[in-house]
Amino acid sequence: MATDIDIAIFRSIKELLSFLDQQISSNEKKLKELQAMLETARGRKAKYEKLRKLIEEVSGESKPALSTTINVSGLRIVIDPKPIEEFDVLELAYRSLQDKLEVLRKIREIISKYLEKYLGEEPVTIIAELRANVPTKLLVKL
């Protein structure tokens, strides 16, 4: 799966802006939920790191083994993930979602500033190339 490309057709600039508002709202909600999960995982990670240091000191082993990971057709399945692994996954997703939200806001601002200002009342059809529900190209047909 190299790229996830989709197409959406909007019958007006207002419809496109509404789509972007919905995407922004949805991603803000996900970001808040993820932030709560991340905070919980951060606490568990700190406790686990202390425990791991204790085990290393007492046993003399450096870095005890992490969770069991199974690879099936390119899909990694982690059985009983350690708090560090869970935190790393959540943190990566959080940062990615932050970036996506920032891009959506910038796109909305550009569309509002230019397209809505100059073509807001015109009958248009907009074909949007989307990647992960983020417009990457807009074909504006008058």
**Contact status, residue 13 vs residue 112, Cβ threshold 8 Å:** no
Query: Is 23 inside any structural domain?
Result: yes
- pLDDT at position 65 is 62
Mean of pLDDT values over 9-31 = 97
Query: Is 46 inside any structural domain?
Result: no
Residue 47, amino acid: K
Residue range 63-80, pLDDT digits in tens: 666 567 888 888 988 888
Q: Please give the Cα distance from 109 to 88 (Å, whole number).
A: 32
Quote the number of domains for the chain.
1
* Residue 32 pLDDT exceeds 70: yes
Query: Is 90 inside any structural domain?
Result: yes
Residue range 107-138, pLDDT digits in tens: 999 999 999 989 988 899 999 999 999 999 99
State the pTM of this model. Answer: 0.83
Q: How many CA atoms are closer than 13 Å to the CA of 75, on its beta-carbon side?
A: 4
> Residue 120 in 3-state DSSP?
coil
Query: Is 111 inside any structural domain?
Result: yes
What CATH number has the domain bearing residue 21?
Answer: 1.10.287
Mean of pLDDT values over 8-37 = 97
Q: Give bridge partners of residue 7 from the DSSP assignment.
A: 129
Query: Is 105 inside any structural domain?
Result: yes
DSSP state of 19: H
- Give me the domain span that covers residue 17: 5-39+66-141
* Residue 81 pLDDT exceeds 90: no
Structure tokens at 123: 């009958």
- pLDDT at position 121 is 83
